[in-house]
Amino acid sequence: DGDGCNQPIQADLINLAHQNGVKVLLGLGGVFDGQFELITADPAMLSAYVSSVSAYARSRGYDGFDVDWEFVWDEVGYIRLIQALRAELDTWNPRGILTEAVPGWYNSGYGYDIPTMNAYLDQINWMDYDLSGSWNTYTGFQTPLYPPNYLNYDGEAIDPLMTDYLARVVNPSKAA
Protein backbone atom coordinates (compact mmCIF):
# COMPACT_ATOMS: atom_id res chain seq x y z
CA ASP A 1 0.00 0.00 0.00
CA GLY A 2 2.97 2.30 -0.42
CA ASP A 3 3.72 2.79 3.29
CA GLY A 4 7.10 1.08 3.09
CA CYS A 5 5.99 -1.84 5.23
CA ASN A 6 5.06 -5.39 4.33
CA GLN A 7 1.54 -5.32 5.77
CA PRO A 8 0.98 -9.12 6.06
CA ILE A 9 4.25 -9.56 7.96
CA GLN A 10 3.49 -6.53 10.11
CA ALA A 11 0.02 -7.92 10.92
CA ASP A 12 1.49 -11.33 11.80
CA LEU A 13 4.02 -9.76 14.17
CA ILE A 14 1.41 -7.58 15.88
CA ASN A 15 -0.95 -10.56 16.25
CA LEU A 16 1.85 -12.71 17.67
CA ALA A 17 2.74 -9.99 20.17
CA HIS A 18 -0.90 -9.64 21.25
CA GLN A 19 -1.28 -13.43 21.60
CA ASN A 20 1.61 -13.28 24.06
CA GLY A 21 0.26 -10.33 26.05
CA VAL A 22 2.70 -7.83 24.54
CA LYS A 23 1.59 -4.32 23.59
CA VAL A 24 2.84 -2.91 20.29
CA LEU A 25 3.48 0.81 19.89
CA LEU A 26 3.97 2.77 16.71
CA GLY A 27 7.18 4.79 16.93
CA LEU A 28 6.89 8.46 16.02
CA GLY A 29 10.21 10.21 15.78
CA GLY A 30 13.16 11.67 14.08
CA VAL A 31 16.51 13.26 14.75
CA PHE A 32 17.15 16.94 14.02
CA ASP A 33 14.89 16.87 10.97
CA GLY A 34 12.64 19.77 12.01
CA GLN A 35 9.45 18.00 10.94
CA PHE A 36 7.89 17.96 14.41
CA GLU A 37 8.54 21.69 14.75
CA LEU A 38 6.70 22.32 11.46
CA ILE A 39 3.79 20.09 12.45
CA THR A 40 3.33 21.49 15.95
CA ALA A 41 3.60 25.14 14.84
CA ASP A 42 0.35 24.88 12.86
CA PRO A 43 -2.79 23.71 14.74
CA ALA A 44 -4.44 22.41 11.55
CA MET A 45 -1.30 20.47 10.59
CA LEU A 46 -0.99 19.05 14.12
CA SER A 47 -4.62 17.93 14.07
CA ALA A 48 -4.20 16.31 10.65
CA TYR A 49 -1.00 14.56 11.78
CA VAL A 50 -2.59 13.15 14.94
CA SER A 51 -5.65 11.98 12.99
CA SER A 52 -3.46 10.38 10.34
CA VAL A 53 -1.15 8.48 12.69
CA SER A 54 -4.12 7.42 14.80
CA ALA A 55 -6.01 6.04 11.80
CA TYR A 56 -2.89 4.21 10.64
CA ALA A 57 -2.18 2.74 14.08
CA ARG A 58 -5.76 1.66 14.70
CA SER A 59 -6.12 0.07 11.27
CA ARG A 60 -2.99 -2.01 11.91
CA GLY A 61 -3.77 -3.00 15.52
CA TYR A 62 -1.17 -0.92 17.36
CA ASP A 63 -1.80 -0.19 21.05
CA GLY A 64 -0.52 3.38 21.05
CA PHE A 65 2.53 5.50 20.33
CA ASP A 66 6.13 5.86 21.43
CA VAL A 67 7.32 9.42 20.75
CA ASP A 68 11.03 9.77 20.09
CA TRP A 69 11.43 13.43 19.15
CA GLU A 70 15.21 13.88 19.09
CA PHE A 71 15.92 16.49 20.15
CA VAL A 72 13.32 18.90 21.48
CA TRP A 73 14.17 22.51 20.74
CA ASP A 74 10.55 23.71 20.86
CA GLU A 75 9.22 22.83 24.30
CA VAL A 76 5.81 24.44 23.68
CA GLY A 77 5.32 22.53 20.43
CA TYR A 78 6.50 19.33 22.05
CA ILE A 79 3.92 19.61 24.84
CA ARG A 80 1.27 20.48 22.23
CA LEU A 81 2.07 17.23 20.40
CA ILE A 82 2.02 15.14 23.59
CA GLN A 83 -1.31 16.68 24.67
CA ALA A 84 -2.88 16.09 21.25
CA LEU A 85 -1.71 12.47 21.13
CA ARG A 86 -2.92 11.84 24.69
CA ALA A 87 -6.35 13.32 23.88
CA GLU A 88 -6.60 11.09 20.80
CA LEU A 89 -5.47 7.96 22.63
CA ASP A 90 -8.01 8.64 25.39
CA THR A 91 -10.75 8.09 22.79
CA TRP A 92 -9.51 4.59 21.94
CA ASN A 93 -11.15 1.56 23.48
CA PRO A 94 -9.17 0.27 25.20
CA ARG A 95 -7.35 3.50 26.02
CA GLY A 96 -4.16 3.84 23.97
CA ILE A 97 -0.68 3.88 25.48
CA LEU A 98 1.64 6.89 25.15
CA THR A 99 5.36 6.69 25.93
CA GLU A 100 8.33 8.97 25.31
CA ALA A 101 12.05 8.43 24.90
CA VAL A 102 14.16 11.00 26.74
CA PRO A 103 17.93 11.60 26.76
CA GLY A 104 20.01 9.55 29.16
CA TRP A 105 20.79 12.65 31.21
CA TYR A 106 18.25 15.10 32.62
CA ASN A 107 20.18 18.32 32.20
CA SER A 108 20.64 17.73 28.50
CA GLY A 109 19.74 21.27 27.46
CA TYR A 110 16.82 19.96 25.44
CA GLY A 111 13.23 20.99 26.10
CA TYR A 112 11.79 17.90 27.76
CA ASP A 113 9.39 19.30 30.37
CA ILE A 114 9.39 16.22 32.60
CA PRO A 115 6.92 17.51 35.24
CA THR A 116 4.35 18.32 32.54
CA MET A 117 5.02 15.02 30.74
CA ASN A 118 3.98 13.07 33.85
CA ALA A 119 0.37 14.16 33.31
CA TYR A 120 0.16 12.81 29.74
CA LEU A 121 2.54 9.88 29.40
CA ASP A 122 2.04 6.32 30.53
CA GLN A 123 5.77 5.64 30.57
CA ILE A 124 9.01 7.60 30.20
CA ASN A 125 11.90 5.65 28.67
CA TRP A 126 15.57 6.55 28.90
CA MET A 127 17.78 6.48 25.81
CA ASP A 128 20.41 4.44 27.60
CA TYR A 129 22.46 4.26 24.44
CA ASP A 130 23.31 7.93 25.16
CA LEU A 131 25.49 6.89 28.08
CA SER A 132 28.46 5.68 26.11
CA GLY A 133 29.80 6.10 22.63
CA SER A 134 32.61 7.22 20.38
CA TRP A 135 32.98 10.39 22.49
CA ASN A 136 34.31 8.34 25.42
CA THR A 137 38.02 7.63 25.85
CA TYR A 138 37.28 4.24 27.42
CA THR A 139 35.69 1.21 25.81
CA GLY A 140 33.46 -0.60 28.26
CA PHE A 141 29.87 -1.24 29.19
CA GLN A 142 27.29 0.76 27.28
CA THR A 143 24.86 1.12 30.18
CA PRO A 144 26.21 -0.10 33.49
CA LEU A 145 23.90 0.20 36.50
CA TYR A 146 26.65 1.79 38.59
CA PRO A 147 29.84 3.55 37.52
CA PRO A 148 32.55 0.90 37.16
CA ASN A 149 35.63 1.34 39.28
CA TYR A 150 37.97 1.27 36.28
CA LEU A 151 40.95 3.50 35.83
CA ASN A 152 40.15 6.20 33.26
CA TYR A 153 36.46 5.23 32.91
CA ASP A 154 34.62 8.36 31.74
CA GLY A 155 31.23 6.91 30.85
CA GLU A 156 27.93 7.31 32.66
CA ALA A 157 25.81 4.83 34.59
CA ILE A 158 22.09 4.24 35.05
CA ASP A 159 21.78 4.64 38.83
CA PRO A 160 23.07 8.21 39.23
CA LEU A 161 21.17 9.39 36.16
CA MET A 162 17.92 7.72 37.23
CA THR A 163 18.33 9.19 40.70
CA ASP A 164 18.71 12.63 39.12
CA TYR A 165 15.60 12.20 36.96
CA LEU A 166 13.51 10.96 39.88
CA ALA A 167 14.66 13.88 42.02
CA ARG A 168 13.33 16.22 39.32
CA VAL A 169 9.74 15.03 39.63
CA VAL A 170 9.61 12.10 37.24
CA ASN A 171 6.78 9.95 38.53
CA PRO A 172 8.60 6.74 39.60
CA SER A 173 5.70 4.59 38.36
CA LYS A 174 6.33 5.89 34.82
CA ALA A 175 10.11 5.47 34.72
CA ALA A 176 11.56 2.78 32.50
What is the set of active-site residues? 70
Beta-carbon neighbour count of residue 12 at 10 Å?
A: 11
Collapsed DSSP state (helix, strand, coil) of residue 57: helix
**One-letter amino acid for residue 159 of the chain:** D
Helix residue ranges per DSSP H, the chain: 7-19, 35-41, 43-60, 75-89, 114-117, 158-167
Cα atoms in the 13 Å half-sphere on the side-chain side of 172: 4
* Degrees to nearest 5, angle at CA 83 with 127 and 115: 55
Region of 40 (left: φ > 0; alpha: ψ -120 to 50; beta: rest) is alpha
